[in-house]
Amino acid sequence: MSLGIELSVEQLEKFEVYLNELTRWNSQFNLTAIKPPDEIEIKHFADSLTLVSGFDSLGLENSIRVIDIGTGAGFPGLPLKIALPQISLALLESNFKKTGFLRHIVKRLGLENVTIVYGRAEALALSPDYRESFNIVVSRAVASLNTLAELCLPFCRIGGLFIAPKKGEISGEIALAAGALEKLGGSLASVVPVKLAGLDDNRCIVVIRKISPTPARYPRRPGVPGKNPLK
């Protein structure tokens, strides 16, 4: 893969351990539908790392705080942490079984400054520990952009970024999310096309800048952003 990221031997070894542990746990817990090792490398690891290009505009100083909403088995958050060890990372996940794997893999990889947060984004976004506390919010394969914006933007600091990898035709999804972005304090900054080796499926990363505070009434109750997306 060529993503403009240079990984050291130590970082590549961490990816190998991650691959092996994910495969081992997957046989018992069904953490991901993608099982062949070469597909895990491309569709999980490389796909997660495409987000690095969206981080560029904020710089990568030590204090940068990143949260991954609905991280599942750690995507895209953990590949980003392996590639950019200086970030401080929170992994938020509402499935307890998956948080068990996350605790295991973070320890096994010896990663520092990683917090695993169990619960629903709609509830945790109301906590002062998390609300408008992160420079960058990432989320992959959790919901369409209108719903996702309500789950993610409340966590983002003013001036920070919410970055989501997407594939397929994205312009309709972006148009549908325009009202939600405006209500939640977000503004579309860019849509960056990305290409993964051997895949021709119109991938991109959508970068949204937080330009004003999210009103206290958002996010709505758990489940509501998905059932009745903001317009």
C-alpha torsion angle, residues 47, 51, 53, 58 (rounded to 10): -170
Scanning residues 95 to 154, which ones bind ligand SAM (CB under 6 A)? 95, 98, 120-122, 140-142, 151
> Across the chain, where does the E strand assignment appear?
65-69, 88-93, 114-118, 134-138, 156-167, 186-194, 203-210
Bridge-based pairing of strands 88-93 and 156-167 is unpaired
Cβ closest to ligand SAM, residue 19 vs residue 211: 19
Q: 184 near 230, Cβ under 8 Å?
A: yes
**Where in 60-99 is the site for ligand SAM (CB under 6 A)?**
70-72, 75, 92-95, 98
105 and 45 in contact (C-beta within 8 Å)?
Answer: no
Nearer to ligand SAM, 73 or 207 (CB): 73
- Report the nearest approach of ligand SAM to the CB of residue 42 (Å): 13
Show the binding pattern over residues 164-193: x = contacts ligand SAM (CB under 6 A), - = does not: ------------------------------
Residue (10 or 170) nearer to ligand SAM, CB: 170
Are the beta carbons of 207 and 187 closer than 8 angstroms? no
- Residues engaged in binding ligand SAM (CB under 6 A): 70-72, 75, 92-95, 98, 120-122, 140-142, 151
